[in-house]
Amino acid sequence: MRPPATDPTSRAPIPALIALALLLALGPAMLVADRGAGSKRTPAATLGDLARRAGCQLREFEDGAMRTNPPVTGSFVERIRARDGSYAGRKPPSPMATIHALLHGRVLIQYRADIRDGELRALDKLARRDTEALLLFENQTQMRARVAATAYLSVMTCPRVDRPTLRALDAFRARRRGFGQSF
């Protein structure tokens, strides 16, 4: 004799019911705890904050023609190009090539000719860590600042090269890489 058949829909899936009960009981508590932890987090510093902490000046996206030294826009010839990377201790790319790179979304880090060897080594190390869409070279426009970072319509000038400045330059590279005229 066979045992009586049972209806499969009459058996409750016990593990699923336990999981559902736990989720309903703990879900709101976990949500409240997560919101509380989120309010204690420090917000990410803005690029302007990082620049100020380093003693740098940041200028961005001003109305009209933005006239800066070094330049953040200008004319170029399509066939005059510069490769990404560090030109520290080498002949810098032409101004026309650097404007072309800038308009295609590159970040340019420039330094004055009178920069100290230790400062140049620190800039070169920063540039070589990630050369994608970045050029490091000696400035050719007689800029006043010791070091400057430019992207399309954005410039950060700094009076020295130290840890806070390197942090600000690295943030500028990360946050302004890819700015350009999208052509």
Quick: pLDDT tens for 91-103: 999 999 999 999 9
Mean pLDDT along residues 81-89: 95
Provide the CA 64 distance to its chain's centre, in angstroms. Answer: 25
Whether omega before 43 lies within 30 degrees of 0, making that bond cis, reads no
* Strands (DSSP E) found in the chain: 57-60, 85-86, 107-111, 134-138, 147-151, 154-158
Q: What is the band of 35 on the pLDDT scale with cuts at 50, 70, 90?
A: very low
Q: State the chain's mean pLDDT as an integer.
A: 84
Q: What is the band of 8 on the pLDDT scale with cuts at 50, 70, 90?
A: low
154-158 and 134-138 strand pairing = unpaired
Run of H or E including 35: helix 14-40
Q: Which residue has the higher pLDDT, 13 or 109?
A: 109
- Residues for the chain: how many in total? 183
Q: Is the pLDDT of residue 143 over 90?
A: yes
Give the lowest-confidence range in 22-31, 44-53, 96-105, 165-174: 22-31
Give the lowest-confidence range in 5-19, 20-34, 130-144: 20-34
Mean pLDDT along residues 40-47: 70
Q: Is the pLDDT of residue 26 over 60?
A: no
Give the lowest-confidence range in 8-12, 31-35, 40-44, 101-105: 31-35
